[in-house]
Amino acid sequence: MNAVNEGIPDRGKSNGRWFRKLATAACLLLAPTLVLAVPSYARQTHQPCAACHVGGFGPELTPFGREFKINGYTMKVGNDTKVPLSAMLVESFEHTKKAQDPADMPSGFGTNNNWSLDQASLFLAGRLSDHMGVFAQATYSQNGHLLGWDNADVRYARPFTHGDHSGTWGISVNNNPTVSDAFNSAPAWIYPYMGSEMVPGAPAAPILFGGLGGQSIGATAYAQIDGKWYLEAGAYRSLSIAFTHHVNADYSGRISDPAPYARAAYTWKVPHGNLTVGGFLLNVKRGGLGSDLNGNDIPLSGPTDNFNDLGLSGDYQYFKGDHIVTVNGLYVHEKQTLNNTYDGGNGASNLHDTLNSFNLKGSYWFRNTYGVTLAGFASNGSNDLTLYGNNGSPNTQGGIVELNYNPFGQATSWKQPYANVRLGLQYTFYSKFNGLVHNVDGAGRKASDNNTLYFYVWLAI
């Protein structure tokens, strides 16, 4: 969900009160949905998980993993047939520097020091035919106690040659723009790959960052040419409210026209690795959301909020012996025309707003077993007192330090590819939150009070 529609305060409540609700809602609704490649692919290809993934397993793809995705998840070895099912479990512990308001915490959790079953997921992931494959995930979370559909991607792909050029073309039908990205560094896959859903996060983000995830359906056509160019384009429409309720997905309003999406990237081979530079485009017109007499959500006709997102990305990978280094950068600029939200200044102070998001991440892995990651993030945009309250600023910035241990991360590890375990210790810190360092919620909380220590155990089979 895009936080611009979540940031409208309730009249008559204090700034601190509605801001804390905004920050909590933004964290829950904008926390990245995890989209993770799974061991069923390794069983299908008879390759260890490390063949496709940096760090033994998880979302970061090697060049071989990118090719596997571009070719529709269809590669296999031998004639044996394996059921394309996998499962995943993530248990975590989180501690914030200062305890949170009890009113902001989900039912069943304290104000600090919480253990949580973040995810219990089942995947249908693998080859369906010679040219068709699937990635589909259903997830249960202790926070909310709901089982719902997660990201889904069904692909059809074929190789081609034309004169001196060759490559692969394909079609993806999926439920979240950028899930189909071949490089797994787009917003749907953005770092951190694991994180607590119970701590405050940035109160606003461009709609490209999961704003249509789970509540839309789209088709994109893509092509990789000569192993260098990657081109993709398509469009997305809203799913019905009834369907999203059945699958426990969010619904933020009806997309009034097909929302065009495009992706382009170029990859160079460099010594011991590769360098990719690319861009994104997404244009969304979304209507308002109301309620019927029974309190059920209904889409409203009339003016739409228009979001125009442009993004730039860069990815670097280095492989030499036991050492792997990856660097990923992503910048997205969003222009907003809030025809629906503005409502004469009652929902937003400005008819036209902007949002910017910048993320930079660098990781080092030794033998796909020991990993360290450093990351920085910054978001900023137009000051809008009605939309964001308190200081009227969405500006938030900070960083992340993470240490990882994968006891079975190597190709020769015990029970590959069935045994996959990652231990992670992550610290997230904020230097600014909602444009402020002090009193960020109108009730005396400092930006650094949201600093979070997060420990997780991630299992995949």
How far apart, in Å, do the first and last CA atoms of the chain sit?
30
Please report the sign of the dihedral spanned by the C-alpha atoms of residue 412, residue 413, residue 414, residue 416. Answer: negative
Please report the sign of the dihedral spanned by the C-alpha atoms of residue 125, residue 85, residue 40, residue 315. Answer: positive
The SS3 call for residue 451 is coil
Of 52, 28, 22, residue with least CA distance to 38: 52
Tell me 250's DSSP state.
-
Q: In which element (H, E) is residue 354 found?
A: strand 352-366
Helix, strand and coil percent figures for the chain, each rounded to 5:
15, 45, 40
Cβ within 8 Å of residue 25, ≥6 positions away:
3, 6
Tell me 186's DSSP state.
S
Q: Is 196 exposed, middle or buried (0-12, 13-18, 19+ CB in 10 A)?
A: buried
- Torsions phi, psi for 311 (to 5 deg): -135, 155
CA distance 334 to 390: 22
Query: Which residue shows structure tokens 């799974």?
Result: 38
Longest dimension (CA), the chain: 68
* Contact (CB, 8 A) for 255 and 239: no
Residue 156: CATH number of its domain: 2.40.160.10
Which domain covers residue 358, as residue numbers?
A: 3-460
pLDDT of residue 5: 36
Counting the structural domains of the chain, the total is 1
DSSP string, 74-125: ----SS-----EEEEEEEEEEEESSPPPGGGSPTT--SSSEEEEEEEEEEEE
* Contact (CB, 8 A) for 374 and 361: yes
Cis peptide bond prior to 417, omega within 30° of 0: yes
What token pair was written down for 344? Answer: 């004469």
DSSP string, 370-426: EEEEEEEEEEEE---HHHH-TT----EEEEEEEEEE-TT-STTSTTTTT-EEEEEEE
Q: How many residues in total does the chain contain? A: 461
CA distance 140 to 248: 10
pTM: 0.89
Of 263, 266, 171, 273, residue with least CA distance to 226: 266
Core vs surface per residue 389-417: b (16+ CB within 10 A) or e: bbbbbbbbbbebebebebebbbeebeebb
* Contact (CB, 8 A) for 284 and 255: yes
Tell me 343's DSSP state.
G
What token pair was written down for 80? Answer: 């044996």
Paired strand residues for 422 = 458
CA distance 404 to 369: 8
pLDDT of residue 354: 97
CA distance 224 to 168: 5
Question: pLDDT 10s digit of each residue in the chain, 461 long?
Answer: 333 333 333 323 333 433 333 333 333 333 344 545 578 988 888 888 889 999 988 899 999 999 999 999 999 887 766 778 999 999 999 999 999 888 888 888 999 999 999 999 999 999 999 999 999 999 999 988 889 999 999 999 999 999 999 999 999 999 999 999 999 999 999 999 999 888 887 778 999 999 999 999 999 999 999 999 999 999 999 999 999 999 999 899 999 999 999 999 999 999 999 999 999 999 999 998 877 777 777 887 889 999 999 999 999 999 999 999 999 999 999 999 999 999 888 899 999 999 999 999 999 999 999 999 999 999 999 999 999 887 889 999 999 999 999 998 887 888 777 788 999 999 999 999 999 999 988 888 999 999 999 999 999 98
The SS3 call for residue 228 is coil
* Contact (CB, 8 A) for 347 and 5: no
What token pair was written down for 304? Answer: 């739409």
| pLDDT, tens digit (0-9, with 9 covering 90-100), for 317-332 | 999 999 999 999 999 9
* Contact (CB, 8 A) for 373 and 363: yes
Of 93, 92, 73, 95, residue with least CA distance to 84: 73
Paired strand residues for 397 = 378, 432
